[in-house]
Amino acid sequence: MRYLPKSPAERERMLAEIGAASIDDLFAVIPAEYRLDRDLDVPRQHAESEIVSYFRAAGQKNATDYASFLGAGAYRHYRPVIIDSLVQRGEFLTSYTPYQAEITQGTLQAIFEFQTMIAELTGMDVANASMYDGSTGSAEAVMMAVRVTGRHKAVVAATVHPEYREVLATYAKHQSLPSTLVGYDRETGRVDLAALDAAVTEETAAVLVQSPNFFGTIEDIPAIAAIAHAKGALLIVSIAEAVSLGVVRPPVEADIVSMEAQSFGVALSYGGPFCGVIAAKEKYLRQMPGRLVGQTVDSTGYRGFVLTLSTREQHIRREKATSNICTNQALVALMATIFLTVYGREGIRELAEHNLSKASYAAATLGSQAGAKLLFTGAPRFHEFVLQTAETPTLWSQRLMDEKIVGGLDLSKWYPELGNATLWCATEMVTRENIDTAARVLAAAPVEA
Amino acid sequence: MTTNATAPKTLGKVRPHQTQNEALVFEKSSPGKRAYKMPPLDVPAVDAAALLGDAHRKTPGLLPELSEIEIIRHFTRLSTWNYAIDLGMYPLGSCTMKYNPRVNEAVARIEGLAEAHPYRPDSLAQGILDVIDLLQRCLIEITGMDAITLQPAAGAHGEFTGILLVRAWHESQGNARRKILIPDSAHGTNPATAAICGYTVENLKSNSEGGIDLEALTRQVDEETAALMLTNPSTIGVFESQIHKIADILHAKGALLYMDGANMNALVGKARPGDFGVDVMHLNLHKTFSTPHGGGGPGSGPVACKAFLEPFLPTPVLCKTGNREQGTGNRVQGTGNRQGLGTEGPGTAGQLHWIYDRPQSVGRVRAFYGNTGMFIRALAYILANGPDGLRQTTEDAVLNANYIRAKLEDLYELPYKTASMHEVVFSDKRQAAKGVKTGDIAKRLIDYGFHPYTVSFPMIVHGALMIEPTESESLEELDLFIEAMRAIAREVDETPDLVKTAPHSTRVSRLDEVQAARKPILRWRPTE
């Protein structure tokens, strides 16, 4: 086996040194009836060339040459080439969690830079070293708010990503943490402020909203914060599209921000690995989940970085830890750090403005086709919009696929009240030609006889 | 904190290293530098301020501004400050720091897989679904279980999912039960997981051999016990030889056996948890199945279970057309691929689909389907090995650990003499008598060119040195490691201060963790 660095003679020599007659001696402790006396029924050993062929074929079977208007928590942005050049350096790729600080300063300094960038972009004081993804990060943020406030109820906007809400429900179920769902305004697509005000009580630990929300609409964060804070609840803002922060005002009134940083240079990869991160006001630091990197000095006074405040974590605190999280998404956080360094202060704004322009054109073009109507026009959007069509989405989406285009996401599963509604996303990767073609296909509904 | 006397030094020679200093990326920035270029807009440009109104960002975030060459140098220089498997042995016990094959990285980046949107129609995702399906079937076969979910993002997330399955099953039987038993040798994630699943944790004391004390277990298991979370082989690298009795004791009281699969690298191809009484377990693809640790993630923590727990798996589950009842896999079926992948490439007949209508499911534990990029890498690893390679891998991992044990047990105290599997745990008892602790020996090991072992864990061994070489070490590398450990043992006798002040060869010396925690500096800020 080509990954194993031993010759048969070396194995024999080692067995002799150990004093074992055969390798089976070393497994004798496993009761005989539980030892596997046959080959595993898995595919035979393959050559590297065969492995590459297999996955190439899988990639081709997936169909690669489609333009796509899909977003909904997973966004296709251009990934600068140097991201993969750098993260594939073995020193980053094949290193463990930086517990031994003297020989992991590279990872530690990069995470410190990541934490700084996330804090800067979100308008929070501090950010952690990453969470699994945006969905679990939101659930962890709610649990963090429970620890901070000592309260045990959550109020959640229906405009938070439905799968994020499902994950929260899974986490909250066994922690006596009931959630109240608050609906949205049918004109703006924003959370219904009157309903929110009615739902938040003195028992509410946290209000969880997403902005830009699942419909692509930017929530009125100052107004939502005022409602939450009036009752002593924390405001958690979930951000699923991190690139929005290049042009959208950061949610500075929030107490905790849970962000999915996939948009910062992370491949879609059919939904993972992505990169969640939690940022917060400094006063809530000791209740944050996950790893944190801090600056310190070495014994001769030079600057260095270490994992810090680990008394919050499971390997020290065990069942009293702030979270059970251990492995996070370090290498993906490094991708995001490199991405943000490439685009920088000006680039992230320009990139976000390109997205805004593409989506404005797409919304106006698609929304003006006969039988199509743009919903939620009463509030600002980033790069996603909801389109209602006279025709059912299954019909026109098949025609779009014939043109090698994947259209908007059918919302009927989650928001049946919206009828034939679909969620469209136009990033900088979508071309005007894609948009015009999609509009032509949408307009080409068969005329009823 | 504002005086110069306490400000950290950041300039000047630190320690011999090819790249001495590299400022923070923010400190290298200067306005007007660019590393990007947007293509011309092919649609009308909008006025963002007018369009967004109050929601428009007025102040940009303080991101750095650099050119491309500076970014390449910055991160390349940082990388040289890391130790890595690619540089040498990384014997962190319980972490399974094995070789991360490069073909894994190559195939995970194939365009049709890396650029697949998770909400693309199933009909356009058959290639990646084939990959997921084959990996599921391989992992079911390897574990001897009946069904699996790949959704959990890491080991601790898998534990969470597994205990949710336990809880859901007990609830379906009319009583969720109250407590989870956890041995005192367990990983910290185990009790933390039990707590977030709403269970109280009851500690189970290890016996004199570091294993499960059957009498204590019998005493402590009752009608309120939901499960025992067991790591097997245990964190001291010992196989629970009474495993069948453990399972029987639990099952007799209606409790389940959860296995933490962190140490699965000792078992693959040699024994299957499903055969020795385990009801539910998680795997760490970033340990046993060679996906890279990446400085702390991403991981992937699939959960495999017996058929009676299958209805509770997180949604969605993968299913083949016309086979709705089959659910997530079937042990009897195997991979059907023993000889190869066939000439027609991935997949057999039938379309794969995600099924969401699962009324008994514990719900979602993550958006989308899991860390799919890690599934691709893990399957590439399994294909590269085949059944013979997987078995040889396990044998070599166990051989390496036992070789180290044999070569060091005269100098380092072996608290448990039980046979070692894939890792060996010594204690610093003899060295501590000279005032040198396991943490000091670990730091000194750095000077000899090795990453330290796991320090002070498991907690049942005072001053533990937990060494897991994995199968990836050659005899030559093992001998160098052994030589280093023996040299350090001599130094403890002759020049203990040399060990206590180690490392001496690194770019920075021991870092002040107390200061870091007392007044945390968690981000860079511009100087006034």
Of A106, A270, A302, which has the smallest distance from its Cβ to B81's Cβ?
A106
pLDDT at residue B379 above 70?
A: yes
Contact of A100 with A307, CB cutoff 8 Å? no
CB pairs under 8 A between A and B: 735
Of A127, A324, A358, which has the smallest distance from its Cβ to B189's Cβ?
A324
On chain B, the residues whose CB falls within 8 A of the CB of A245 are 57, 61
pLDDT of residue B239: 95
> For the domain that residue A121 is a member of, what is the CATH number?
3.40.640.10
pLDDT of residue B340: 46
Final residue in a domain of this structure, among A339, A366, A384? A339
The Cα of A156 is separated from the nearest Cα of chain B by a number of Å equal to 17
As a whole number of angstroms, the distance between CA A203 and CA B324 comes to 44
pLDDT of residue B345: 45
Residue A61 inside a domain? The answer is no
Structure tokens at B507: 């770019």
The Cα of B266 is separated from the nearest Cα of chain A by a number of Å equal to 9
Structure tokens at A38: 């046959």
* Ranges of H-type helices in B182-332: 189-196, 214-220, 243-252
pLDDT of residue B5: 57
Same domain, A299 and A377: no
pLDDT at residue B1 above 60?
A: no
pLDDT of residue B383: 98
Structure tokens at B203: 């500690």
Distances from the Cα of B214 to the Cαs of A413, B183, B239, B248, in angstroms?
Answer: 51, 12, 14, 11
Tens digits of per-residue pLDDT, A390-411?
A: 999 999 999 999 999 999 999 9
Question: pLDDT above 70 covers what percent of chain B?
Answer: 91
Residue A12 inside a domain? The answer is no
pLDDT at residue B313 above 90?
A: yes
As a whole number of angstroms, the distance between CA B342 and CA B492 comes to 59
Record: contact B522-A112, CB cut-off 8 A: yes
Record: contact B188-A315, CB cut-off 8 A: yes
Record: contact A44-B387, CB cut-off 8 A: yes
Record: contact B112-A332, CB cut-off 8 A: no
Record: contact B51-A360, CB cut-off 8 A: yes
Residue A57 inside a domain? The answer is no
Residue B242 inside a domain? The answer is no
- Residues B420-445 have a mean pLDDT of 97
Same domain, A271 and A168: yes
As a whole number of angstroms, the distance between CA B281 and CA B231 comes to 10
Residue A33 inside a domain? The answer is no
pLDDT of residue B112: 94
Tens digits of per-residue pLDDT, B195-252?
A: 999 999 999 999 988 899 999 999 999 999 999 999 999 999 999 999 999 999 999 9
The Cα of B412 is separated from the nearest Cα of chain A by a number of Å equal to 16
Same domain, A254 and A386: no
Report the residue of chain A nearest B100, measured CA to CA. Answer: A94
Residue A416 inside a domain? The answer is yes
Residue A55 inside a domain? The answer is no
- Contacts from A405-408 at CB under 8 Å and sequence distance 24+? A405/A66, A405/A67, A405/A68, A405/A69, A405/A434, A405/A437, A405/A438, A405/A441, A406/A66, A406/A67, A406/A68, A406/A69, A406/A70, A406/B117, A406/B120, A406/B121, A406/B124, A407/A69, A407/A438, A408/A69, A408/A70
Tens digits of per-residue pLDDT, B66-79?
A: 999 999 999 999 99
Tens digits of per-residue pLDDT, A159-197?
A: 999 999 999 999 999 888 999 999 999 999 999 999 999
Record: contact A27-B398, CB cut-off 8 A: yes
Surface-to-core class of residue B389, CB atoms within 10 Å of its CB (0-12 exposed, 13-18 middle, 19+ buried): buried
Residue B426 inside a domain? The answer is yes
CB atoms within 10 A of CB A44: 17
Which of A74, A89, A68, A83 minimizes the C-alpha distance to A343? A83
3-state class percentages of chain A: helix first, strand second, coil last, to nearest 5: 45, 15, 40
Three-state SS string over A36-100 comes to CCCCCCCCCCCCHHHHHHHHHHHHHHCCCCCEECCCCCCCCCCCCHHHHHHHCCHHHHCCCCCCC
pLDDT at residue B16 above 70?
A: no
On chain B, the residues whose CB falls within 8 A of the CB of A224 are none
Same domain, A307 and A369: no
How many domains are there within chain B? 1
pLDDT of residue A317: 82
Which of A432, A440, A441 minimizes the C-alpha distance to A398? A441
Residue A131 inside a domain? The answer is yes
Structure tokens at B58: 């007025």
Omega cis (within 30) before A273: yes
The H or E element that residue B132 is part of is helix B126-143
Same domain, A269 and A231: yes
Tens digits of per-residue pLDDT, B489-498?
A: 999 999 999 9
- Residues A436-447 have a mean pLDDT of 87
pLDDT band of B18, cuts 50, 70, 90: low
Record: contact B188-A344, CB cut-off 8 A: no
Same domain, A407 and A316: no
pLDDT of residue A444: 84
- Which amino acid is residue A202, in one-letter code? E
pLDDT of residue B298: 96
On chain A, the residues whose CB falls within 8 A of the CB of B508 are 101-102, 105, 298, 302, 304
pLDDT band of A445, cuts 50, 70, 90: confident
Same domain, A213 and A362: no
CB atoms within 10 A of CB A377: 15
CA B57 to chain centre: 39
How high is the mean pLDDT of chain B?
Answer: 92
The CA-based angle A84-A88-A90, given to 5 degrees, is 165
On chain A, the residues whose CB falls within 8 A of the CB of B109 are 84, 267
Same domain, A120 and A161: yes
pLDDT at residue B339 above 70?
A: no
Record: contact A432-B74, CB cut-off 8 A: no
pLDDT band of B476, cuts 50, 70, 90: very high
pLDDT of residue B349: 60
**Higher pLDDT, residue B326 or A376:** A376
SS3 assignment, position A255 = coil
pLDDT of residue A449: 46
- Residues A54-73 have a mean pLDDT of 93
The Cα of A208 is separated from the nearest Cα of chain B by a number of Å equal to 17
Same domain, A92 and A71: no
> For the domain that residue B442 is a member of, what is the CATH number?
3.90.1150.10
pLDDT of residue B391: 98
On chain B, the residues whose CB falls within 8 A of the CB of A3 are 99, 101, 290, 384-385, 389, 393, 471-472
pLDDT of residue B333: 40
End-to-end CA distance of chain B: 14
Residue-range definition of the domain harbouring residue B448: 393-514
Same domain, A304 and A201: yes
Contact of A319 with B180, CB cutoff 8 Å? no
pLDDT at residue B192 above 90?
A: yes
Final residue in a domain of this structure, among A339, A359, A385? A339
- Residues A50-71 have a mean pLDDT of 94
Record: contact B399-A15, CB cut-off 8 A: yes
Same domain, A438 and A310: no
Best of A270, A317, A397, A399 to mutate (most B CBs within 10 Å, chain B): A270
pLDDT of residue B321: 77
Residue-range definition of the domain harbouring residue A284: 81-339
pLDDT band of A16, cuts 50, 70, 90: very high
Residue B474 inside a domain? The answer is yes
> For the domain that residue A364 is a member of, what is the CATH number?
3.90.1150.10
Same domain, A362 and A327: no
Residue B398 inside a domain? The answer is yes
- Residues B21-48 have a mean pLDDT of 96
pLDDT of residue B322: 58
- Which amino acid is residue A224, in one-letter code? I
Tens digits of per-residue pLDDT, A265-318?
A: 999 999 999 999 999 999 999 999 999 999 999 998 999 999 999 888 888 788
Structure tokens at B127: 């290639």
Question: pLDDT above 90 covers what percent of chain B?
Answer: 88
pLDDT band of B335, cuts 50, 70, 90: very low
The Cα of B528 is separated from the nearest Cα of chain A by a number of Å equal to 16
**Higher pLDDT, residue B472 or B6:** B472
CA A443 to chain centre: 34
Tens digits of per-residue pLDDT, A33-47?
A: 999 999 999 999 999
Record: contact A348-B61, CB cut-off 8 A: yes
Residue B478 inside a domain? The answer is yes
Final residue in a domain of this structure, among A339, A364, A385? A339
Residue B411 inside a domain? The answer is yes
CB atoms within 10 A of CB B325: 7
Best of B303, B523, B524 to mutate (most A CBs within 10 Å, chain A): B523
Record: contact A344-B42, CB cut-off 8 A: no
Record: contact A100-B293, CB cut-off 8 A: no
pLDDT of residue B327: 44
Residue A203 inside a domain? The answer is yes
Of A53, A55, A342, which has the smallest distance from its Cβ to B36's Cβ?
A342
How many domains are there within chain A? 2
